[in-house]
Structure 1
């Protein structure tokens, strides 16, 4: 595997946590309006991506191909909006660490199923027992992160 790609993926994870915190601060500074904060986040992202798309040859041929796509392929935008709104809404209520460990657990379990079964037209990549064990360890880590104090307190009674 390419180390540069692994580093890039790690940076995406860093960006997700920072994005959740920044968007939460935006929401709190505009009257705790999570929907508007998510909208502003998407609008800023749309401007950046639009500029990048234009710099790579324009949008014309791409837009022409969009009309031929089945509706389900546009779900990514809805899911992205739900993710951004969810982080803005949940971070101040459950804390950034709890939010992110639950997001990671959800991503791991879903990604494992998508890879193993080739769902959503993705390449099938059988999940090995070692990877299942790794995901299991992360899920245990999530439980410790979320409930560790209660677990420790129950042993010290």
Structure 2
């Protein structure tokens, strides 16, 4: 199958990922405790993938498959979840714009490096100037969108005694791990053969970590009025976001990490701009002005360079 035929599925995954982010934001607002919200969001994912594996248990990996599996492969979900932890810990200190801009830029550039050097089982393509130019354009586009995002100032840092810019290196690492996690998940799928089993194994450690942190830090807890405000679709946020992880399991080794993450991120951000513009899913309405639209246009140009060349 031609890799380009997979692009529409990756774009849909990016759209669902953006919807999941907004749904998660609403869930966190009502459940108050971010670790409780994350646990509620991730638990249905494990349930669904485990159920699908029980219904469709074939194929199963052999002992040779398991023996050849890289030690890091089952940690792909945990690597990707670092960005979630980073958002929980740092977004209020550095602002949503800088956080998302740094995370996505690190994701894009790391993906291109993985493709260029053939790391973690990918086929190395060497240095190609046009995809890297596309990565630069995407980083510029992200920065324009981030500038136009409400709450991206450092006024929130006042009073906590820490310059938010000191956290930038940690946020960059989170974005890089997000890209690496996609490739590790592909390695996991290759070793376990069954995509449903691979997805279950990938998400189980993430759920364990979030539940453990919630048990250690159970406060604050939501009040009854908070819980009553939870809409039926809010706990499904994790499932919509999980589509992107599952797409990575299936497609990243076929289209390349750069093209996969570039398409995913572009679809994600364009959908986010639309959600903000129309105030959907409870998001604060923010008109898509010249800065956001210009950034989106530059990002589309960047992904064309990454995908074509």
TM-score, L = length of structure 1: 0.80
Q: Counterparts in 2 of 1:1-157, with a 5 A limit?
A: 1-2=153-154, 3-4=164-165, 7=168, 10-31=172-193, 33-57=194-218, 69-148=230-309
Q: Which runs of 5+ in 2 are unaligned?
A: 1-152, 155-163
1:23-66 CA distance string (max 9 Å, x none): 111111122x222111111111000001111111269x559765
RMSD over aligned Cα atoms: 2.6
CA shift in 2, pair 1:90/1:66, >3 Å? farther
Give yes or no for contact 1:42–1:81 (8 Å, CA) kept in 2: no
- Report the Cα distance in structure 1 between the residues aligned to 2:198 and 2:190, rounded to whole angstroms: 9
CA shift in 2, pair 1:77/1:5, >3 Å? farther
Aligned length in residues: 146
Q: Which runs of 5+ in 1 are unaligned?
A: 149-157
CA shift for structure 1 position 127: 2.2
TM-score, L = length of structure 2: 0.43
- Report the Cα distance in structure 1 between the residues aligned to 2:167 and 2:277, rounded to whole angstroms: 20
Select the structure with the greater relative contact order (CA < 8 A; seq sep ≥ 6): 2
- Report the Cα distance in structure 2 between the residues aligned to 1:135 and 1:13, rounded to whole angstroms: 20
CA shift for structure 1 position 11: 4.1
